[in-house]
Structure 1
Amino acid sequence: MQASDDFRRLRRSFRAFAFPVTVAFCSWYLLYVLLAVYARDFMGTEVVGNVNLGFVFGVLQFATTFLIAWAYSRYARARIDPAAASVRERMDGVATAPAGKAAAAGDAR
């Protein structure tokens, strides 16, 4: 099944979202940490009252996490779930078919 085109498309769809978003979020987090360590004056800049940029950036880390989860759920619903259903149906068909039909189904791939 791993060699099938459906499975390859499924894996490619997942990676098309997961890898770039992971790199972007890790970069954003690393920027936050580096600013907190090396740009203390900048991060200590007060925005409103006692709320400084460090606190705002920290809260934005949580907001980014929720935004990514929401975006992934939409992406998965549109692209990954249909491909996964197709792979699952093929696997169920191969697993439940009699031995002769399973071999024929495997030859059709």
Structure 2
Amino acid sequence: MSEDAEFHSLRRAQRRFGVRATILSVGGFLLYVLLSHAAPGLMNQRLTGHLTLGLALGLGQFVVMGVTAWCYVRHMRTRVDPLARGLASRLRQQELGSPRAAAPHGEAGGHRTW
């Protein structure tokens, strides 16, 4: 299964999104921390009432995490899950079509374990 082109497509879709989401989330947080350290005057500017730019950007981190989680769920449902279902059905068809060989030592159910 790990040699299948569709399996590689599935892994690539997961990996590409994971890298982008990590860069967005960690990059946004690091930018916030660096601005807090390098430009405290900018971060202490009042926007309205007691709300400062630093506080607004800090609260924005929750928004970034929420949007990242939402995009992850949407990406998995639209791109990864259909590929995974297709691979699972092909694997089931292959297993039903051929007699099950005894699992080699250390492998559960004929599948490699971690």
Q: Which runs of 5+ in 2 are unaligned?
A: 102-114
How many positions carry a matched residue from both structures? 100
Aligned residue number for residue 107 of structure 2: none
CA distance in structure 2 between the aligned counterparts of 1:30 and 1:53, rounded to whole angstroms: 16
**Are positions 1:83 and 2:83 aligned together?**
yes
CA distance in structure 2 between the aligned counterparts of 1:99 and 1:13, rounded to whole angstroms: 31
| Offset of residue 55 of structure 1 | 0.7
Aligned residue number for residue 45 of structure 1: 45
Partner deviation per Cα, 1:73-93 (whole Å, 9 max, x = no partner): 111111000001112222333
Aligned residue number for residue 105 of structure 1: none
- Give 4+ residue runs of structure 1 displaced > 6 Å after superposition: none
**Are positions 1:25 and 2:32 aligned together?**
no
Computed over aligned residues only, the root mean square deviation of the Cα atoms, in angstroms, reads: 1.6
State, as a whole percentage, how many aligned pairs show the same letter. Answer: 33
Aligned residue number for residue 109 of structure 2: none
| Offset of residue 95 of structure 1 | 4.0
**Are positions 1:61 and 2:67 aligned together?**
no
Q: Which runs of 5+ in 1 are unaligned?
A: 101-109
Higher helix share: 1
Structure 2 letter corresponding to 1:59: L
Structure 1 letter corresponding to 2:36: A
CA distance in structure 2 between the aligned counterparts of 1:70 and 1:25, rounded to whole angstroms: 13
| Offset of residue 62 of structure 1 | 0.4
When normalised by structure 1's length, the TM-score is: 0.82
